[in-house]
Amino acid sequence: MVKSKNQDFESAIKRLEEIVAQLESGDLQLEKSLELFEEGIKLSRFCHTKLDEAERKVEILLKNAEGELKRTPFEEESAAASNGEESSEED
């Protein structure tokens, strides 16, 4: 039941959870298990792609020393904020 490219992330995750529950039940015939497994792999890849896209979109704009805005990936900013309090720069 993989939908068109218009499928949203939340629907894909919900369907993936349903597939996992069905597979974990162990009450399926081999052919049906393989069919669900294949659908689950497609959904997993779809979700992974959507998460990658979202990660690229999430950026924080920071001002550098000259007051210019600089794009910084969200992950680096989080690490810098947590390390910034404990570290000191020496000139």
Helix (H, G, I), strand (E, B) or coil at 26: coil
87 located within any domain: no
76 located within any domain: no
- Give the per-residue pLDDT at 85: 45
The whole domain housing 43 covers 9-56
- The CA-atom distances, in angstroms, between 40 and each of 14, 26, 37, 44, 47 are 11, 16, 5, 6, 10
Helix (H, G, I), strand (E, B) or coil at 45: helix
Could you tell me the pLDDT band of residue 49, with boundaries at 50, 70 and 90? Answer: very high
Candidates 20, 22, 60, 55; CA nearest to 40 is 20
Q: Give the count of domains, the chain.
A: 1
71 located within any domain: no
85 located within any domain: no
The residue written with tokens 């894909």 in the block is: 12
69 located within any domain: no
28 located within any domain: yes
- Give the per-residue pLDDT at 89: 44
- Give the per-residue pLDDT at 52: 87
- Give the per-residue pLDDT at 75: 65
1 located within any domain: no
Better-scored residue on pLDDT, 12 or 90: 12
